[in-house]
A and B are shown apart, each in its own frame.
Chain A
Amino acid sequence: MSTRDEARAAPRAINGRAPDVFRRGEWVPMREHAEEEEVDFVVVGTGAGGAPLIARLAESGFSVVGMDAGPYFRPLEDFASDEREQEQLYWLDERICDGANPIVMGGKNSGQAVGGSTVHFAMVSLRFRPEWFKSRSALGYGADWPLDWREMWGYYQIAEQALSISGPVRYPWGPRRPRYPYRAHELNGAAELLARGAEALGMKWTATPLATVSAPHGRSPPCVYRGFCRFGCSTNAKQSQLVTFIPRALAAGAEIRDLAMVGRIEVGANGRVSGVHYHRDGRWRFQKARNVVVAGYAIETPRLLLASATDRYRQGLANSSGLVGKNLMTQSNQAVFGRMAQEVRWYKGPPSLAITEHWNYEDRKEFFGGYCWMAQGPLPVEWVTIQTSSRGLWGQALRDAMEHYIHQVGLKMVGEMLPDERNRVTLADEKDQYGLPIARITYSWGENDKALIQHALGQMQMSLEAVGATDIFRQEDDTNHLAGTARMGSDPSSSVVNADCRTWDIPNLWVCDGSVFPTTGGVNPSLTITSIALRTADRICALAARGEL
């Protein structure tokens, strides 16, 4: 059996214990709840949004069960140093993609594991530009968030501490922030070239704030620059949710159920939710709960809300606005690649060790939204995907192009795409292995999106030309990260949840993941998702204290 089959063969978090991710073959004790016991919270999904919420709620004394469709990995034992094998981290069940610019899923866009997509994310941990929380009123596009950036600044700081972010002493853009808890990582060749290019263009750059430690932390050793971060970190240097908030959650008395796929949220006669139907260990089960939080990310969250429709809520749960599944946003992830005379060997170290956010903070441009770009380090399978999809190469021409691998350099953007109700998640007729309708994901770029992408490609190309790269080509069609299918807002007719991530329609149903974003900004989303989850936990405690849960 390959490691991937082992972790998925049977649940591991059972019999009062869960895997100890820091010690081979060892366990940590885990509190367990009976299914007929009405727990305070069931949280569906244990990623960037779910895990911190589970931990903080448990630490505040609530009884919490976190469920995840994915396995409970033991990084030290399960994670092979291999790009292909580690596809085991992704959500690989079928989804159907259409629209003018179908989104590539699988490895590109979502994880399925305890710890969620943070088990394979690239660790880039950035704060939003303050104005993005008021994009509509401050910048003229998208929608305003019901959150205040100053409050978010406080939660970002808590998140950065909890994830031991390594970053620069002074961050060059935006309002002042404290120095990062761990010192910045050294640059690899690809990052040095980003820095030189940015300087040639008169732009600031910095070492990227990353969720991997540059010095020992607890039982995490410092990063050893193996470069397989997006395929699972086998040393635990990476501060994924699996090794940060999940252990905290267990220590505080939360229960985690791995390989537990939630298929339907049950609604009681009073119109409130009463628990979840989930599939684990070969059969369907039911867990009673006073509150249900959906944290399955921007595809699975709307899928579950839509699939839980009842006679009372025919359009799906929490969907009186009709917006569940709509306003799906991904981020433009185009890139420019070239070849250097020097050896770059970009496979060493975390892939994005340097960044420039210049165009996030510069408003003199002819489109809405912003973007940043980062250094790149694709491993061979990803690199051949880029060569074939961007250049149409195959045969001897492809072999020849691949031979320059260690001389390649690249810059990849993370760009803001605007919300559009036509970009959406719906239910297809086709069923998955549990008999649940699979998601159909429809996506087309708007004119603003295209203008932003072209601008970024031009800028990144200039940066590569400035460092003397040759044989430059563009990867025109890549996207990554998801947001927006259960947006937060201050008006029940134009949003699904309020600022506390509580659904407008059903007071004991919550959404806490990337789907609550009304706009997506020009930086990677997960630090913002985690910060919102930390705020939500505080808000739930405050509401509970006032008897308003």
Chain B
Amino acid sequence: MTDRYPGYDVMAKRWTPSWNEQTRRVVDQRLAVLREPRFFSGAEWRTLNAVCARIMPQPKDRPPVPLPAYVDEKLHMRRLDGYRYAQLPPQDVAWRRGLAALDDESRAVHGAAFHTLASDQQDTLLGRMQRGELTSVAWGDMPCQLFFEHRVIPDITHAYYAHPLAWNEIGFGGPASPRGYVRMGLDRRDPWEAAADRGV
């Protein structure tokens, strides 16, 4: 992994004026997410784990952000997005059907479950999903590219970039309340912001 901001850790600001009490509470709760599925079945969970690992591959030198757990939590808690495309079923139906259909495609093409495939085989299937090329009857009337674009991608990537480890990687300042920022202009940095190791 490239470490663009060596030594920078958003969590180190936890007891500085950048974090207030409610923010500490919210981030603590996020980090304490339950690792066992409450919504997904065993087979779905295995497929989901494999999908997350390809959509957002993570460095090997640290414990991964538990992305499947966040997807499961969203569905278990029924956190809705406030809308859905007419061609998509509600999120719980979409996820169950989508994971089953992906596994079905995998068995049809490779004769094996999706989570047992090699990464490049998994990527190929995911790429075909993104382009709308998967045709298993298990999709029903749900267009696979809409499932990819509006369920798989946001539910997984939002969970990742809401995690402090991701903030460290991209140099985001993280929580900022009550203290905000003082040095606002181009190429200006407050001492409590990430310092880059190198330029672009």
Q: What is A's interface to B at a CB cutoff of 8 Å?
A: 2-3, 77-85, 87, 90-98, 102-107, 110, 186-189, 192-193, 223-228, 234-235, 339-345, 347-349, 379-381, 383-385, 388-389, 392, 394-396, 398-399, 402-407, 440-441
Residue pair B184, A341 in contact (C-beta under 8 Å): no
21 contacts across the A-B interface (CB closer than 8 A): A78-B22, A80-B20, A81-B23, A81-B176, A82-B26, A93-B82, A97-B84, A97-B86, A223-B180, A224-B179, A225-B181, A348-B181, A381-B158, A385-B158, A388-B153, A394-B55, A402-B169, A405-B172, A406-B171, A406-B172, A441-B83
- Cα A81 to Cα B123 in complex, Å, equals 35
Choose one: A104, A186, A225, A384; the contact of B83 (CB below 8 Å): A104
Residue pair B181, A81 in contact (C-beta under 8 Å): no
Choose one: A102, A188, A227; the contact of B185 (CB below 8 Å): A188
A2-B26, A399-B56 known; A384 vs B160 contact (CB < 8 Å): yes
B41 close to chain A: CB less than 8 A: no
Q: What is the distance, in angstroms, from A277's C-beta to the closest C-beta of chain B?
A: 24
Residue of chain B at shortest CB distance from A3: B22
Chain B 155-181 per-residue mask, 1 if CB under 8 angstroms from chain A, else 0? 001101110001101111111111111
Q: For residue A396, which residues in chain B have a CB less than 8 angstroms away from its CB?
A: 57
Residue pair B26, A80 in contact (C-beta under 8 Å): yes
B79 close to chain A: CB less than 8 A: yes
A342-B187, A380-B162 known; A234 vs B177 contact (CB < 8 Å): yes
Residue pair A96, B86 in contact (C-beta under 8 Å): yes
Residue pair A399, B57 in contact (C-beta under 8 Å): yes
Choose one: B25, B82, B169; the contact of A90 (CB below 8 Å): B82
Residue pair A106, B26 in contact (C-beta under 8 Å): no
B133 close to chain A: CB less than 8 A: no
Chain B 21-40 per-residue mask, 1 if CB under 8 angstroms from chain A, else 0? 01101110110000000000
- Cα A398 to Cα B126 in complex, Å, equals 14
B44 close to chain A: CB less than 8 A: no
Residue pair B54, A385 in contact (C-beta under 8 Å): no
Choose one: A83, A189, A388, A392; the contact of B154 (CB below 8 Å): A388
Residue pair B157, A348 in contact (C-beta under 8 Å): no
Residue pair B154, A385 in contact (C-beta under 8 Å): yes
Pick the most buried of A77, A83, A106, A381: most chain B CB atoms within 10 A of its CB: A381
Q: For residue B170, which residues in chain A have a CB less than 8 angstroms away from its CB?
A: 380, 402-403, 405-406
Residue of chain B at shortest CB distance from A389: B149
4 tightest Cβ-Cβ pairs between the two chains A and B: A106-B82, A226-B180, A224-B180, A105-B83
Residue pair B187, A96 in contact (C-beta under 8 Å): no
Residue pair A384, B157 in contact (C-beta under 8 Å): yes
Residue pair A406, B196 in contact (C-beta under 8 Å): yes
Q: What is B's interface to A at a CB cutoff of 8 Å?
A: 2, 4, 18-20, 22-23, 25-27, 29-30, 54-57, 79-87, 90, 123, 126, 130, 149, 153-154, 157-158, 160-162, 166-167, 169-182, 184-189, 193-194, 196, 199-200
- Cα A107 to Cα B79 in complex, Å, equals 13
Q: For residue A385, which residues in chain B have a CB less than 8 angstroms away from its CB?
A: 154, 157-158
Q: What is the distance, in angstroms, from B115's C-beta to the closest C-beta of chain A?
A: 17
- Cα A95 to Cα B82 in complex, Å, equals 6
A225-B182, A406-B170 known; A95 vs B83 contact (CB < 8 Å): yes
Residue pair B55, A395 in contact (C-beta under 8 Å): yes
Residue of chain B at shortest CB distance from A110: B82
Residue pair B175, A81 in contact (C-beta under 8 Å): yes
Residue of chain B at shortest CB distance from A339: B200
Residue pair B185, A187 in contact (C-beta under 8 Å): yes
- Cα A193 to Cα B184 in complex, Å, equals 12
- Cα A79 to Cα B178 in complex, Å, equals 11
Choose one: B30, B169, B171, B186; the contact of A193 (CB below 8 Å): B186
- Cα A85 to Cα B159 in complex, Å, equals 11
Residue pair B56, A398 in contact (C-beta under 8 Å): yes
- Cα A489 to Cα B147 in complex, Å, equals 42
Residue of chain A at shortest CB distance from B158: A381
A81-B20, A228-B177, A403-B170 known; A91 vs B2 contact (CB < 8 Å): no
Residue pair B180, A92 in contact (C-beta under 8 Å): no
Q: For residue A92, which residues in chain B have a CB less than 8 angstroms away from its CB?
A: 79-82
A345-B189, A380-B170, A403-B170 known; A80 vs B82 contact (CB < 8 Å): no
- Cα A235 to Cα B176 in complex, Å, equals 11
Residue pair B20, A98 in contact (C-beta under 8 Å): no
A189-B185, A345-B193 known; A82 vs B23 contact (CB < 8 Å): yes
A81-B175, A102-B86 known; A227 vs B180 contact (CB < 8 Å): yes
Residue of chain B at shortest CB distance from A85: B26
Q: For residue A105, which residues in chain B have a CB less than 8 angstroms away from its CB?
A: 81-83
Pick the most buried of A81, A91, A94, A339: most chain B CB atoms within 10 A of its CB: A81
Residue pair B188, A189 in contact (C-beta under 8 Å): yes
Q: For residue B81, which residues in chain A have a CB less than 8 angstroms away from its CB?
A: 92, 105-106
Residue pair A80, B25 in contact (C-beta under 8 Å): yes
Q: What is the distance, in angstroms, from B23's C-beta to the closest C-beta of chain A?
A: 4
Q: For residue A383, which residues in chain B have a CB less than 8 angstroms away from its CB?
A: 161
Q: What is the distance, in angstroms, from B34's C-beta to the closest C-beta of chain A?
A: 14
Choose one: A107, A186, A228, A381; the contact of B162 (CB below 8 Å): A381
- Cα A400 to Cα B16 in complex, Å, equals 30
- Cα A339 to Cα B199 in complex, Å, equals 12
- Cα A340 to Cα B199 in complex, Å, equals 10
- Cα A2 to Cα B169 in complex, Å, equals 26
Q: For residue A379, which residues in chain B have a CB less than 8 angstroms away from its CB?
A: 172
Residue pair B157, A102 in contact (C-beta under 8 Å): no
